[in-house]
């Protein structure tokens, strides 16, 4: 697909993505920037599926646009009112003057041109197309899962995934550190709108079901722990917005749920060393079961981690661990 | 006119009609003055648009499972947009009292930079 | 099972387990568990470093898949050097943090975030895979931002600026890794280097991306503006860790990419050398102008990092002469280790004075009748290493850099260590004279607002003495630094 | 101009725009959006290179997934820091010094 001449659809999609990014970056008001960013997220999800990457499209929609979008909208709408920089237009973005615009645009064009030639050079002469595709597809029989991307994530390059889950855990630690000693003041759970409570009671179980389906689909088609974690985070955030979320006394439960994913990964890593002589080694016989077990706990930890980050942003109801 | 071609044609017509409704919805979002009229335009046009697009794709869906999943997308989207529209029309009413941050009638802040 | 290559995984997965444990434990258990964990981690790292020193580089295939598919961990001489530095300085800072709560921003989150930085640093030093290096740098970057944020209100702004710089650097590094993978077809470091060397691909663009990305994270002038506010407003133990260790991880990855993967670029090497010289000059001048002790020490980090970037022009001008290469590598190694210990000690001293006297502004500290003698002694000894006076490692490093620049016929670079030494002596002696002089107006002495425990007063001095003793280690350091040296650039 | 080259140019445009706005924009929220756009640009390079072969390269897709999760982690911390910094600036007395507030 890579080297046939570019089609109309690709040109339109590329231009739409660049236009969306330009709007998001140069919007005059914060809310406008965030809305454009959400539109850009949707366009990117379409772009990834167009480039033959369904896993990435699913992750972009669930995490890149879903959770990140929720974080941005919450930051813009619930921020302290005075925080919005005073300007003629409420929420005007300072520094968006004409002179800055021209020099910024010039710099962007130059940088873009430079990067463009670099990328074209890399993809051009003598590049090694396909990279490790053959290696991965050749070893799928002992990988424990049928879907190549899940096999790479949780078996061939599982060390990267372990470090990445630690990055998410570190994010939760940093976020809860800024809350300081005093527990966030829990606003008395105001009577939530009846429709919201009803909607949450109906949708939360459905969302958890979708999260479970996405998780277990990951072994033979696009899906997996990260996308399922994001859907789970959506369910938990919805429950919290409707006032049904975990209360302050669930702090310890949340803390355990956060740690259980990476902890299981470390236990499997040590088990691999003891059994096979190398860290993270998975015996082909046990690989399938171990991967699904670790992936389930990972999805739980990722879902809770994303929710705690969201709640800490709004000094949410729950007392983050 | 083999059945396959007919199916192909029908789903194309449905999808195009769906996108037509989306365009009308977006036009409503841009042109209409205040929050409630915009919500009115969005929820009606977009839901219908999504329904038509989904039906068009269901005709092309390979297996029954894929068709079922497409319909689930629509069934999840409809209540979500209805409830969100309801809450927003009560003035950003997370709580029952409806803290009138933006209050009905004044143009909502959002939607200015629509893509 | 106890083959030494398993240590490669232990130095990373050990601290990761500690991150989870200290993230969950109640507060009163954290200092003891932290001390025990730090002891274990540094022991593992030191045993690994000794093993590499004795019998050369060691590798470990993770998850049982050999390269190029799986990820391989590898430690050669350079990794061993940085691992040992992280272990020793890390242990010292942990002892200091366990005995003084104020040094940790008075917050239990210090311990898991600190072990996350430690695990990330070890992961960077033992990574044998390009993308793995990127993810390890992300762990270090985000944990460091979290640690800076522990400084409370005034630290949140600088922490956010630090986050922007870290992410911009990482994004550019990821693009460079993508370009290399597109060209080489493998993510494994050594194999990618060999394939790029034989493929004749013009890797200049990737080299520029890597230099900008890691120059940002290593605070190379003119990309240094984020460092002083971040390191200045962070709690004491955090500033010590950031300046002594975290900034060096970016330099380490730049060296890896430069010598092992992309191959030296002569023109870019001279540019890096000039920026390093500018850093030494500009950082020194700014340090002289500061009125707060922690800012002086933070700007001194920007200045001292400049010396390390002389490695690139000296090795590319050495044209394979083993004597010059050994001097360049040995000199840089000595400066890395010397700066690590001395800077950690200096920041701990500055933090102790700040917590005891409530301020680190030099004019206020001048009113102190007799500041803590052991802490001021520690600052003096650290100044000996940073200024490069014999017998410290600073001197050994600068001497070898001069030998390398003379040996390679490029006399110009010799001016940087010599001139830089004078400048750093100037900005380090200024705060010392403030401490040692008789206070002018005896009427308003500044009282001790808090008492400092014994360990807190003597830890900085101990840390500052280590580079002096190591200065006498002679050839041990250059040998270690050049074990398993780079294909083109090493002896 | 092949499809691959076109998408590499789109990625270069995203990266160029985002890096400039990340450095020049004064409002931290716009800089956080620039982080995400720059991240998407770098991931587009990876996915475009992966699409050169018919079954796209699964290793690159796994790397991109890792990149997306890391970007959301950084964005979360950035937004919380932004919120705290603004709250501190707005009400310095009340909760400005959550820790012991050391500072120059």
Q: Domain coordinates of chain B in residue numbers? A: 3-89
Whether the pLDDT of residue A85 is over 70: the answer is no
Q: Examine residue D100 and state whether it is found in any structural domain, yes or no.
A: no
Query: Tell me, what DSSP letter sits at residue C188?
Result: B
Of A4, A75, A180, the CB nearest to D79: A75
Of D23, D85, D104, the CB nearest to C292: D104
Of B83, B94, B111, the CB nearest to A35: B111
| Chain B interface, best mutation among A92, A199, A206, by max B CB count within 10 A | A199
Over residues C228-234, the mean pLDDT reads 90
Over residues C427-448, the mean pLDDT reads 80
List CB contacts (< 8 A) between A194 and chain B: 96
CA torsion sign, D54 to D57 to D62 to D65?
negative
**Under 8 Å between Cβ of B83 and A199:** yes
CA distance B76 to chain A (A): 8
Q: Is residue A62 domain-shared with residue A194, that is, in the same domain?
A: no
pLDDT for res C458: 87
Residue-range definition of the domain harbouring residue A52: 7-78
Cα–Cα distance measured from residue B66 to residue B72, given in angstroms and rounded to the nearest whole number: 10
Q: For chain A, what is the domain count? A: 2
Which residue would you say has higher pLDDT here, A121 or C63? C63
Query: D-contacting residues of A 63-92, CB under 8 Å?
Result: 63-64, 67-68, 71-72, 75-76, 79-80, 82-83, 85
Q: Is residue C340 domain-shared with residue C466, that is, in the same domain?
A: yes
Say if the Cβ atoms of D59 and A33 lie within 8 Å. Answer: no
Q: Across A258-267, B40-49, C181-190, which has the greatest mean pLDDT? A: A258-267
Q: Is residue C156 domain-shared with residue C289, that is, in the same domain?
A: no
Q: For chain D, what is the domain count? A: 1
List CB contacts (< 8 A) between D31 and chain C: 164
| pLDDT tens-digit series, residues A17-55 | 999 999 999 888 888 899 999 999 999 999 999 999 999
List CB contacts (< 8 A) between C183 and chain D: none
The whole-angstrom distance between residue A238's C-alpha and the CA centroid of its chain comes to 17
pLDDT band at A249 (very low <50, low <70, confident <90, very high): low
Residues 6+ apart with CB under 8 A from C121: C82, C86, C140, C245, C246, C249
Say if the Cβ atoms of B87 and A193 lie within 8 Å. Answer: yes
Whether the pLDDT of residue A106 is over 60: the answer is yes
Of C24, C61, C119, the CB nearest to A255: C24
Q: By percentage, how much of chain A surpasses pLDDT 70? A: 81
Residue A115: name the closest of C444, C174, C468 by CA.
C174
Residues 6+ apart with CB under 8 A from A109: D16
CA torsion sign, C483 to C84 to C352 to C228?
positive
List CB contacts (< 8 A) between B94 and chain A: 190, 192-193, 196, 241
pLDDT for res B112: 35
Q: Is residue C48 domain-shared with residue C188, that is, in the same domain?
A: yes
Is some CB atom of chain D closer than 8 A to the CB atom of A318? no
Among A266-270, C81-85, C293-297, D82-86, the least confident range: D82-86
Q: For chain C, what is the domain count? A: 2
Burial of A181 (0-12, 13-18, 19+ CB in 10 A): exposed
**Under 8 Å between Cβ of C104 and C235:** yes
List CB contacts (< 8 A) between B97 and chain A: 190-191
Cα–Cα distance measured from residue D87 to residue D94, given in angstroms and rounded to the nearest whole number: 9
Residue C382: name the closest of C305, C297, C451, C440 by CA.
C297
CATH number at residue D76: 1.10.287.3510
Cα–Cα distance measured from residue A75 to residue A313, given in angstroms and rounded to the nearest whole number: 7
pTM for the predicted model, two decimal places: 0.90
Over residues B48-70, the mean pLDDT reads 89
Q: Examine residue A20 and state whether it is found in any structural domain, yes or no.
A: yes
CA distance A20 to chain C (A): 20
Residue-range definition of the domain harbouring residue D18: 3-91
pLDDT band at A190 (very low <50, low <70, confident <90, very high): low
Of C182, C234, C360, the CB nearest to D49: C182
Secondary structure (H, E, C), C442-453: CCCCCCCCCCCC
pLDDT band at A172 (very low <50, low <70, confident <90, very high): very high
Whether the pLDDT of residue B9 is over 80: the answer is yes
Cα–Cα distance measured from residue C162 to residue C151, given in angstroms and rounded to the nearest whole number: 13
List CB contacts (< 8 A) between A3 and chain D: 2-4, 52
Task: Name beta bridge partners: C292.
Answer: C361
Residue-range definition of the domain harbouring residue C166: 1-263
pLDDT band at C272 (very low <50, low <70, confident <90, very high): very high
List CB contacts (< 8 A) between B111 and chain A: 35
Say if the Cβ atoms of C182 and A131 lie within 8 Å. Answer: yes
Residues of chain D under the 50 pLDDT cut = 94-104
Where b means 16+ CB within 10 Å and e means fewer, A5-30 reads ebeeebeebbebbbebbbbbbbbebb
Q: Is residue A172 domain-shared with residue A42, that is, in the same domain?
A: no
- H or E element at residue C227: helix C227-233
Task: Name beta bridge partners: A5.
Answer: D2
Query: Tell me, what DSSP letter sits at residue C66?
Result: P
Neighbours of B67 (CB within 10 A): 17
Q: Is residue C342 domain-shared with residue C238, that is, in the same domain?
A: no
Q: Which chains touch D (3 or more CB pairs under 8 A)?
A: A, C
Is some CB atom of chain A closer than 8 A to the CB atom of D99? yes
Q: Examine residue D51 and state whether it is found in any structural domain, yes or no.
A: yes
**Under 8 Å between Cβ of C459 and C375:** no
| Chain D interface, best mutation among A12, A63, A134, A178, by max D CB count within 10 A | A178
Say if the Cβ atoms of D65 and A149 lie within 8 Å. Answer: yes
Cα–Cα distance measured from residue B42 to residue B29, given in angstroms and rounded to the nearest whole number: 7
| Chain C interface, best mutation among A173, A256, A283, A287, by max C CB count within 10 A | A173
Neighbours of C6 (CB within 10 A): 18
Average pLDDT, chain C: 89
Q: State phi, psi for C45 to the nearest 5 degrees.
A: -65, -40
pLDDT for res A81: 55
Distances (CA, A) of B63 to A22, B59, C446: 40, 10, 82
Over residues A265-291, the mean pLDDT reads 87
pLDDT for res A125: 54
Q: Which two tokens stand for residue C142?
A: 């985000």
| pLDDT tens-digit series, residues C8-67 | 899 999 999 999 999 888 888 899 999 999 999 999 999 999 999 888 888 888 887 877
| Chain D interface, best mutation among A108, A222, A320, by max D CB count within 10 A | A108
- H or E element at residue C60: strand C58-61
Whether the pLDDT of residue A118 is over 70: the answer is yes
Average pLDDT, chain A: 82
Cα–Cα distance measured from residue D16 to residue D12, given in angstroms and rounded to the nearest whole number: 6
pLDDT for res B39: 85
Sequence-ordered alpha helix ranges (H) in chain B: 3-31, 35-60, 64-89
Say if the Cβ atoms of D51 and A53 lie within 8 Å. Answer: yes
Peptide bond into A307 cis (omega under 30): no
List CB contacts (< 8 A) between C178 and chain D: 42, 45-46, 49, 60
Look-up: residue for tokens 């800072």?
A: C93
**Under 8 Å between Cβ of C114 and C237:** yes
| Chain D interface, best mutation among C155, C233, C365, by max D CB count within 10 A | C155
Residue C393: name the closest of C456, C460, C459, C463 by CA.
C463
pLDDT for res C66: 79
Say if the Cβ atoms of B113 and A29 lie within 8 Å. Answer: yes
Cα–Cα distance measured from residue A280 to residue A266, given in angstroms and rounded to the nearest whole number: 8
Of D23, D59, D103, the CB nearest to C151: D103
């Amino acid at each position: 697909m890579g080297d046939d001449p570019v089609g109309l659809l690709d040109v339109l999609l590329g231009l739409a993505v660049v236009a969306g990014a330009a709007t998001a970056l140069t919007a005059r008001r914060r809310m406008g920037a965030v809305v454009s960013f959400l539109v850009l997220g949707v366009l990117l999800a379409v772009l990834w599926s167009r480039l033959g990457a369904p896993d990435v499209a699913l992750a972009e929609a669930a995490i890149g646009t879903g959770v990140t979008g929720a974080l941005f909208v919450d930051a813009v709408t619930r921020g302290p009112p005075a925080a919005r920089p005073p300007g003629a237009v409420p929420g005007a973005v300072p520094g968006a003057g004409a002179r800055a615009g021209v020099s910024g645009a010039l710099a962007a064009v130059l940088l873009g041109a430079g990067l463009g030639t670099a990328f074209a050079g890399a993809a051009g002469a003598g590049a090694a197309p396909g990279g490790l595709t053959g290696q991965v597809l050749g070893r799928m029989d002992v990988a424990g899962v049928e879907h190549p991307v899940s096999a790479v994530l949780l078996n061939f390059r599982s060390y990267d995934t372990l470090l990445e889950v630690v990055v998410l855990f570190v994010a939760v630690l940093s976020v809860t550190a800024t809350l300081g000693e005093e527990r966030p003041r829990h606003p008395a759970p105001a009577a939530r709108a009846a429709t919201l409570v009803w909607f949450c009671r109906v949708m939360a179980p459905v969302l958890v079901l979708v999260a479970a389906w996405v998780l277990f689909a990951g072994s033979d088609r696009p899906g997996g722990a990260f996308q399922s974690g994001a859907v789970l985070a959506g369910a938990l955030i919805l429950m919290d917005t409707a006032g049904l979320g975990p209360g302050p006394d669930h702090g310890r439960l949340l803390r355990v749920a956060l740690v259980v994913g990476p902890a299981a990964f470390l236990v499997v890593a040590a088990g691999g060393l003891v059994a096979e002589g190398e860290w993270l080694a998975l015996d082909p016989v046990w690989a399938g079961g171990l991967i699904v077990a670790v992936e389930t706990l990972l999805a739980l930890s990722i879902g809770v981690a994303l929710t705690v980050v969201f709640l800490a942003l709004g000094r949410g109801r729950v007392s983050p661990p | 006119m083999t059945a396959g071609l007919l199916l192909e044609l029908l789903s194309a017509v449905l999808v195009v009609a769906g996108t037509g409704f989306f365009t009308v919805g977006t036009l409503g979002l841009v042109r209409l003055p205040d929050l409630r009229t915009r919500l009115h335009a969005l929820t009606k046009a977009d839901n219908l648009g999504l329904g038509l697009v989904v039906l068009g794709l269901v005709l092309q869906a390979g297996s029954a499972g894929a068709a079922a999943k497409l319909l689930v997308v629509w069934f999840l989207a409809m209540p979500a947009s209805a409830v969100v529209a309801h809450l927003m029309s009560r003035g950003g009413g997370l709580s029952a009292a409806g803290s009138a941050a933006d209050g009905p009638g004044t143009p909502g802040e959002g939607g200015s930079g629509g893509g | 099972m106890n083959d030494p290559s398993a240590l490669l995984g232990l130095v990373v997965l050990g601290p990761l387990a500690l991150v989870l444990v200290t993230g969950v434990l109640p507060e009163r258990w954290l200092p003891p568990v932290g001390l025990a964990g730090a002891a274990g981690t540094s022991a593992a790292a030191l045993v690994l470093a000794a093993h590499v020193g004795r019998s050369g580089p060691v590798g470990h295939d993770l998850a049982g898949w050999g390269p190029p598919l799986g990820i391989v961990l590898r430690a050669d001489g350079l990794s061993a050097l940085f691992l040992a530095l992280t272990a020793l300085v890390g242990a010292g800072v942990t002892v200091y943090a366990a005995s003084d709560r104020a040094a940790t921003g008075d917050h239990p989150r210090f311990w898991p975030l600190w072990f996350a930085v430690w695990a990330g640093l070890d992961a960077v030093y033992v990574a044998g895979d390009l993308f793995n290096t990127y993810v390890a740098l992300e762990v270090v970057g985000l944990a460091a931002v979290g640690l800076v944020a522990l400084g409370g209100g005034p630290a949140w702004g600088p922490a956010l600026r630090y986050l922007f710089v870290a992410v911009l650097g990482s994004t550019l590094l990821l693009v460079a890794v993508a370009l290399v993978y597109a060209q080489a077809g493998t993510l494994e470091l050594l194999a990618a280097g060999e394939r790029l060397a034989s493929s004749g691909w013009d890797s200049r663009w990737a080299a520029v991306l890597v230099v900008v990305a890691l120059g940002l994270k290593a605070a190379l002038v003119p990309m240094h503006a984020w460092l002083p506010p971040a390191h200045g407003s962070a709690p004491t133990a955090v500033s010590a860790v950031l300046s002594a260790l975290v900034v060096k991880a970016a330099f380490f990855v730049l060296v890896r990419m430069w010598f092992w993967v992309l191959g030296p670029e002569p023109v870019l090497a001279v540019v890096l050398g000039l920026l390093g010289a500018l850093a030494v000059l500009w950082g020194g001048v700014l340090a002289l102008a500061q009125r707060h002790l922690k800012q002086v020490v933070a700007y001194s980090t920007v200045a001292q990092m400049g010396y390390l970037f002389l490695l690139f022009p000296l090795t590319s001008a050495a044209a394979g002469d083993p004597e010059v290469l050994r001097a360049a590598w040995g000199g840089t190694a000595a400066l890395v280790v010397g700066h690590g210990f001395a800077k950690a000690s200096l920041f701990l001293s500055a933090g102790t004075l700040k917590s005891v006297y409530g301020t680190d502004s030099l004019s206020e500290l001048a009113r102190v009748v007799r500041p803590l003698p052991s802490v001021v002694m520690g600052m003096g000894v650290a100044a000996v290493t940073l200024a490069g006076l014999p017998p410290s490692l600073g001197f050994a490093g600068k001497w070898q850099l001069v030998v390398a620049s003379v040996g390679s016929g490029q006399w110009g670079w010799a001016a940087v260590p010599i001139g830089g030494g004078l400048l750093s002596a100037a900005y380090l002696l200024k705060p010392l004279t403030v401490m040692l002089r008789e206070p002018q107006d005896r009427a308003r002495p500044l009282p001790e607002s808090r008492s400092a425990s014994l360990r807190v007063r003597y830890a900085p001095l101990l840390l500052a003495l280590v580079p002096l003793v190591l200065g006498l280690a002679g050839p041990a350091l250059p040998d270690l630094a050049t074990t398993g040296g780079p294909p083109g650039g090493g002896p | 101009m092949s499809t691959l080259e076109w998408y590499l140019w789109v990625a270069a445009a995203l990266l160029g725009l985002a890096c400039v706005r990340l450095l020049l924009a004064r409002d931290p929220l716009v800089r956080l959006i620039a982080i995400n756009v720059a991240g998407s640009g770098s991931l587009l390079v990876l996915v475009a290179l992966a699409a050169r072969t018919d079954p796209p390269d699964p290793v690159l897709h796994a790397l991109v997934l890792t990149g997306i999760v890391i970007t959301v982690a950084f964005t979360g911390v950035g937004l919380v820091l932004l919120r705290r910094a603004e709250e501190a600036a707005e009400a310095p007395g009340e909760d400005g010094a959550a820790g012991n507030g050391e500072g120059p």
